[in-house]
Amino acid sequence: MSLETSITRAWQKKAKWLYLFLPLSWLYSAVSSIRRMFYKQGVLSSYRAPVPVMVIGNITVGGSGKTPLIISLVKHLQRRGITVGVISRGYGGDSKQMPAIVTLDSTPNVVGDEPCLIVQSTLFYGKKRDARPVDMAVCPNRQQAIELLLKHNPDIEFIIADDGLQHYKLQRDIEWIVVDSHRGFGNEKVLPVGFLREPLNRLDGATIIYHQTEQSDDEQPLTMRLKPAQLEPLLTGLTDYQKPQDEDTVIAISGIGYPTRFFNTLKALGFSTIECPYPDHHDFTFDDLLQFIEQPYPIITTSKDAVKLWQLADKDLKGFSDAEVDQLAKLFTRIWVLPVSAELSLACYDALDKELKAHNIL
């Protein structure tokens, strides 16, 4: 088990030993608050984009459903006729090759896995009736990402920043913070005692979107839920896929920020799961798959992880024996993907419309 996975489980269980790091937590909170104040007061310089910017992020470590939310918002804006662009840090990609435009041919090792997923999931028909994805640029320097994005498409009216809530070098017009209603805020402490990136007062002034699950008790007006779709084979064109059925035992592999949500979804669909969590943005290898050779069960993964596995399937198998090549080929025919989509409450779209009108987008 990785250190990241161990600490994540300790946060989930609110382990008492975490309080040994309370002085570090106080220091982290103080530095975070001072840094934000300096940007707000202009002591530290920040960048104002020539078009309105909406930042979508969270104040907790681990996944909150942010990427599916961005995909749903992009599709909604496209349907409204708004020319939207997306920027991202490109975590997991090669920063030496950034800033970079993300295309359908981009790979996770260059631009990151989440940008690949966003672009692949947002195909739409333009004025020429040609299918094209949303315009997206990646770079740790968000100013460079925006400048490249607008150079690539000067008609962009509105930019969504994937994550970057704590990236105060970028000024923003709208902030949406996603809160996992089931996980909540744990012990309400910032890192490393708890899993908060910033104190709870950071929520003040932002639009809060509550990601609800079947286990969520509270009801909020601004909510989203992740709806699973039908399982899809990882690789198309293969004829020997056998789709998992209800009550089947499956191997669930996931390299997302909060894999428990994925595992719970599979259980709710009726599967008996062998859970195999990996660190967030895990770069899968052939060895990760070869360990499942002796287990005859179907393998199910997330759309985000599928991006990495597609890339892995294209890699050269030089160095592997003929027997291992044959085993890997058979393994890939056992891998299925569980797509999910974010369903937003009507109140979310009403709130978005008001914010867009306030910035002359509608």
Class of the 232-338 domain?
alpha beta
Amino acid at position 252, single letter: A
Amino acid occupying residue 164: G
Q: Quote the distance between the C-alpha of residue 337 and its chain's center.
A: 16
Q: Tell me which H or E stretch contains 86.
A: strand 84-88
Size of the chain in residues:
362
Separation of alpha carbons 288 and 112, rounded Å: 19
Chain centroid to CA 198: 19
Q: Extract the tokens encoding 119.
A: 């672009």
Show the tokens assigned to 184: 């909540």
Please state the domain extents for the chain.
Answer: 232-338
Q: What are the pLDDT digits (tens) for 292-338?
A: 988 889 999 999 999 999 988 888 777 778 888 888 888 888 999 99
Look over the chain and give the mean of its residue pLDDT values, rounded to a whole number. Answer: 90
Q: Cα-Cα-Cα-Cα dihedral of 361, 141, 255, 259, to 10°?
A: -50
325-342 tens-digit pLDDT? 888 888 888 999 999 999
The tokens describing 216, both together, are 């969520």
**Which amino acid, one-letter code, is at 229?**
A
pLDDT tens digits, 218-264: 667 899 999 999 999 998 766 566 788 877 899 999 998 888 899 99
